[in-house]
Amino acid sequence: MPYLRLRRRASLRSMHSVDATDARILRALAVDPRRTVVALAQELGLSRNTVQARLARLEQHAFLPFDRRINPASLGYPLLAFITVHVQQRQLAEITEEIARIPEVLEGHGLTGTADLLLRVVAVDAEDLFRIHGKILAIEGVDRTDTALAMGELIPFRMDPLLERGPRTPN
């Protein structure tokens, strides 16, 4: 029985990574997300087929859900806060589940170090934030919380410096 031969050349389709060409596509999209495939191809000097294939792959492996492009402020939640939560470690799963029931919690990360959880929370106003904070603190197993209001996006979210550098090139 013949054994399967190793792939001669690593298929980009199997390794979910992004090469320099993908990075160029991403940078172009960052400028204007509505650029058509045709426009991208022309702009980057690639064939439409190539761009289309790469975009399809990117959509599957490199794109996060669309949610992230929605501005909470335009939904009526202009306040942003980061809440760190200290919990009884062994109840972490249940606590996370409870916290996830709070709509204003947009994102939650488990952390190393002193804190256990870092939550990204939005609110309508200060009073609203206070209410949300209370809901979190009231959860069984939550020991302590620490709320920090974001006063300004000093460094607005960006990915361009990494795209510019090209993928996977440390130091």
Partner DNA sequence: CTGAAATTGAGCACAATGCCCTATCTGAGG
Partner DNA sequence: CCTCAGATAGGGCATTGTGCTCAATTTCAG
Instruction: Specify whether the CB–CB gap between 146 and 115 falls below 8 A.
Output: yes
Q: How far apart are the first and last CA of the chain?
A: 47
Distance CA 132, CA 119 (A): 12
38 binds, among DNA, a second copy, none (CB under 5 to 8 A by kind): DNA
Given 61, 91, 94, 137, the residue binding a second copy (CB under 8 A): 61
Q: Does 20 bind a second copy (CB under 8 A)?
A: no
From candidates 12, 23, 44, 137, binder to a second copy by CB under 8 A: 23
Binding to a second copy (CB under 8 A) within 115-134 occurs at 115, 117-120, 122, 124-125, 128, 131
Structure tokens at 54: 């790469």
Q: Which is nearer to DNA, 52 or 96 (CB)?
A: 52
Nearer to a second copy, 53 or 159 (CB): 159
What is the per-residue binding string for a second copy in 91-120, x denoting contact by CB under 8 A? -x---x--xx--xxxxxxxxxxxxx-xxxx
Which residue is associated with the tokens 């589940």? 97
Cβ neighbours for 93, distance < 8 A, ≥ 6 positions apart: none
The two most distant CA atoms of the chain are separated, in Å, by 71
